[in-house]
C-alpha cells in the first residue's frame, strides 16, 4: 500500500523563501493580517486531513467505484460521503471565499496549497467539491444579486456542490455544434432540454443539492459559438427560504466506466424541460463559462501536481528499500544480499526526473495562485492588470505542461517498482490511470497549446509573452554577474532569446499558411513550459546557494535537483524548437486516405 505525507517543507520554501509570499500578501489590504503563523497552522491541519481522512479512501474509491441505481440515483464509494461531511464541518470549502457569503476570506495561495495536498490524497474524492469553487467564481462574476444570495452561501459552505455541463456526444471542444436548447417560460426562467456527457460529479450522494452550470441555445440564438448561453440548473429547485424544494427535471442517465478516477461519478446528464436561469447575458455564455473553465484548468494542473508528489514519495521510499544488484562501483551495503536500487544511475534518472518536474510544478502552481491574489485584490489597478495578463498567459502552461509532466512522472514512478508497480496492491498503477484524464478534460493539451500560441501570443502581438519575458530578463540582469549562477543564467537567457525568435518566426509563417501555427503549437508549449520552469528553478537555485552553509540538507537537495533539471531535462527544448520549426508540411502533405 502507498503512503502520503504532505511536503510542507517544500511548500514553505516556495511560498516564503522563493516567492516572498508574506510580503506580497501584506501589500493586499484584505490579506494584511494573514501572517506566516496563520498560513502554517492552516497548512498543518490541511495536511492532517489529507493524510488521515482523504488518503485512506483513495484505493477504496478505485476498487469500488460509483454505483448507478437507475432513475438518476448514484452513490459514491464507502466512506466518501462521511469524509465530505468532515470536510464541510471543518470549513475547508469556504477557505478562500468571500466573507459576504460565509467564506473565510483567506488567500487563494492558501487554498491552492490545500488542494495540492487533497489531490495527492484522493483526486477522485476531491472532484466532488473541486468544480464547486469554479462555479462560485463564475457566479461571483456574472450572477445576479438574487442568484448570489440564493446559491453562493450554500456553495461556499459546501452544503451544495457545482458542475460544469458543456460536452455533448457530437461535440467536445467544438461547442458551436451544441444542441441543448433553452425555451423561455414564466417568471424569467427557462426550460432546458438535451443531453450532456462526461460530467464530473454530475450526480452523487455527497451533497444535498447539485448546481449544474449548463450551456444551451435560446430559440433566437445565432449559429456557432456566438449563440451559446449559460444557465444555472439546480438538481433541486430552492424553495422560498432557499432550501431544498421540488426535484428538477435533470437526472443522470448513466455513469461512465473509465480508465481511472473510479471514485468520481462521471455522468451522462439528461435534461427534460429542466428549469434554469440565465447567467450573464443571452448568447454570451462562453464568456461566463470561461471564468469557470479557466479556474477548472488551473484546478486540473493541481490535480496532476498532487499525483506527481504522491508518486514521487512512494517511488523514492521503494528505491531506498528494494535491494537488487550491486553498485557498479562496489557494494554500498555489503552486509546485505544486494544494494538498494537507488544506487543505480538509471533509477536516479527516473527519480530525479520525477522530483524536478514535481517541484517545478509546485513552484509554478504556487506562483500563479499568488498572481491570482494580486489580480483579485491588489489595490493598484496596474498591478491587477499585469497579474491578469500573466495568469492568462500561464494558464495553458499550468494545465498542459504540468499534466504532461505528471503523466511521465507517474509512469516513471511505476517503472521504479518494476513488476510490482504493475500490480494493484502497490497503488502505483492507479496513479498512472488517474493522471491520464488530466491531459484530456477541460480542453485537451493540444487545445491548450493552440490557446497559448494563438490567443495568448499571436493574438496580441506577443504582449503577454513580452510581459513574462520582462520578468525573466529582470532576473537574468540581477544575476548575470554572479559566478555561482552562470550554470543557470546562461541557458535561461539563451532559451528566452530562442522563444522570442521562434514566436516571431511562427507569426510570419502563419500569415501565409494558418496551419503553420497549429502545427507548431504543441512543441511551442513545451518550449515555453521549460522557459517558465527554468526561470523558477533558477530562482530556487539562487535561494539554495545562499543557504548552503545553513547545515540544512534541504538546500543541497534543491540545488542538486536544479542542476539535474538544467542538464538533463531542459535540453528537450532543442528537439522541440526543431520540431516547431519543421512546420506544417510534414504533417499535412500525406493525403488523409493514405493513413
Helix, strand, coil percent content, the chain, rounded in steps of 5: 65, 15, 25
Do residues 297 and 398 make contact, with C-beta atoms less than 8 angstroms apart?
yes
Length of the chain: 595
Catalytic amino acids? Answer: 442
Q: Give the single-character DSSP code of 388.
A: H
| Pair 349, 307: CB distance under 8 Å | no
**Other Cβ atoms within 10 Å of 151 Cβ, number:** 24
Nearest CA-CA partner of 318 in 334, 339, 342: 342
Identify the burial level of 555 via C-beta atoms within 10 angstroms of its C-beta, where 0-12 means exposed, 13-18 middle and 19 or more buried: buried
Q: Strands 209-216 and 190-200, how do they pair?
A: unpaired
Q: Are 174 and 203 in contact (CB under 8 A)?
A: no
Calculate the dihedral angle through the C-alpha atoms of 12, 18, 22, 24, rounding to the nearest 10 degrees.
-140
DSSP lists the bridge partners of residue 254 as 268
Q: Kindly give the pairing relationship between strand 209-216 and strand 229-234.
A: antiparallel
Question: What is the 8-class DSSP label of residue 533?
Answer: H
Cβ-in-10-Å burial (0-12, 13-18, 19+) of 498 comes to middle
Q: At 187, give phi and psi (nearest 5°).
A: 60, 30
Amino acid at each position: 500500500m502507498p503512503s502520503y505525507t504532505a511536503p510542507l517543507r517544500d511548500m514553505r520554501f516556495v511560498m516564503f523563501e522563493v516567492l516572498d509570499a508574506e510580503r506580497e500578501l501584506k501589500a493586499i489590504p484584505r490579506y494584511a493580517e494573514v501572517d506566516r503563523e496563520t498560513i502554517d497552522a492552516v497548512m498543518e491541519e490541511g495536511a492532517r486531513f489529507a493524510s488521515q481522512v482523504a488518503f485512506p479512501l483513495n484505493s477504496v474509491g478505485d476498487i469500488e467505484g460509483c454505483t448507478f441505481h437507475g432513475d438518476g440515483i448514484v452513490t459514491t464509494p464507502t466512506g466518501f460521503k462521511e469524509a465530505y461531511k468532515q470536510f464541510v464541518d471543518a470549513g475547508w470549502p469556504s477557505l478562500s471565499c468571500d466573507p459576504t457569503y460565509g467564506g473565510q476570506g483567506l488567500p487563494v495561495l492558501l487554498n491552492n496549497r490545500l488542494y495540492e495536498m487533497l489531490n495527492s490524497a484522493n483526486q477522485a474524492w476531491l472532484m466532488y467539491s473541486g468544480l464547486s469553487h469554479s462555479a462560485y467564481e463564475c457566479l461571483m462574476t456574472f450572477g445576479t444579486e438574487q442568484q448570489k444570495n440564493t446559491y453562493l452561501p450554500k456553495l461556499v459552505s459546501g452544503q451544495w456542490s457545482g458542475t460544469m455541463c458543456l460536452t455533448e456526444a457530437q461535440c467536445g471542444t467544438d461547442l458551436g455544434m451544441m444542441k441543448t436548447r433553452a425555451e423561455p417560460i414564466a417568471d424569467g426562467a427557462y426550460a432546458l432540454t438535451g443531453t450532456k456527457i462526461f460530467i464530473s460529479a454530475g450526480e452523487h450522494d455527497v451533497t444535498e443539492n447539485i448546481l449544474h452550470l449548463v450551456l444551451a441555445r435560446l430559440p433566437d440564438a445565432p449559429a456557432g459559438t456566438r449563440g451559446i448561453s449559460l444557465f444555472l440548473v439546480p438538481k433541486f429547485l430552492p424553495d422560498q427560504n432557499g432550501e431544498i424544494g421540488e426535484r428538477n427535471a435533470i437526472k443522470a442517465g448513466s455513469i461512465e466506466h473509465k480508465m481511472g478516477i473510479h471514485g468520481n461519478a462521471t455522468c451522462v446528464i439528461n435534461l427534460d424541460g429542466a428549469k434554469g436561469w440565465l447567467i450573464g447575458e443571452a448568447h454570451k455564455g462562453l464568456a461566463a463559462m470561461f471564468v469557470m473553465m479557466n479556474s477548472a484548468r488551473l484546478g486540473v494542473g493541481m490535480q496532476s501536481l498532487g499525483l506527481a508528489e504522491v508518486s514521487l514519495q512512494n517511488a523514492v521510499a521503494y528505491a531506498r528499500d528494494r535491494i537488487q544488484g550491486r553498485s557498479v562501483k562496489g557494494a554500498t551495503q555489503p552486509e546485505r544480499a544486494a544494494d538498494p536500487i537507488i544506487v543505480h544511475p538509471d533509477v536516479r534518472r527516473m527519480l530525479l526526473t520525477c522530483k524536478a518536474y514535481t517541484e517545478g510544478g509546485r513552484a509554478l502552481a504556487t506562483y500563479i495562485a499568488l498572481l491570482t491574489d494580486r489580480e483579485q485584490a491588489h489595490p493598484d489597478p496596474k498591478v491587477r492588470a499585469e497579474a491578469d495578463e500573466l495568469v492568462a498567459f500561464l494558464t495553458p502552461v499550468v494545465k498542459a505542461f504540468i499534466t504532461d509532466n505528471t503523466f511521465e512522472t507517474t509512469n516513471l514512478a511505476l517503472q521504479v517498482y518494476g513488476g510490482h508497480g504493475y500490480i494493484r496492491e502497490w497503488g502505483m498503477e492507479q496513479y498512472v490511470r488517474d493522471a491520464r484524464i488530466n491531459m484530456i478534460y477541460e480542453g485537451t493539451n493540444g487545445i491548450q497549446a493552440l490557446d497559448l500560441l494563438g490567443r495568448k501570443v499571436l493574438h496580441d502581438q506577443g504582449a503577454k509573452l513580452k510581459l513574462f519575458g520582462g520578468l525573466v530578463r529582470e532576473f537574468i540582469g540581477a544575476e548575470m554577474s554572479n559566478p555561482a549562477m552562470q550554470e543557470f543564467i546562461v541557458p535561461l537567457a539563451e532559451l528566452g532569446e530562442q522563444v522570442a525568435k521562434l514566436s516571431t518566426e511562427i507569426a510570419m509563417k502563419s500569415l501565409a499558411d494558418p496551419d503553420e501555427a497549429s502545427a507548431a503549437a504543441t512543441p511551442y508549449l513545451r518550449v515555453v513550459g521549460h522557459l517558465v520552469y527554468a526561470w523558477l528553478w533558477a530562482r530556487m537555485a539562487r535561494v539554495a546557494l545562499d543557504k548552503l552553509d545553513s547545515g540544512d540538507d534541504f538546500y543541497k537537495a534543491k540545488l542538486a535537483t536544479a542542476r539535474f533539471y538544467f542538464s538533463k531535462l531542459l535540453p528537450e527544448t532543442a528537439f522541440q524548437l526543431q520540431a516547431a520549426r519543421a512546420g506544417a508540411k510534414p504533417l499535412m502533405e500525406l493525403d488523409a486516405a493514405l493513413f
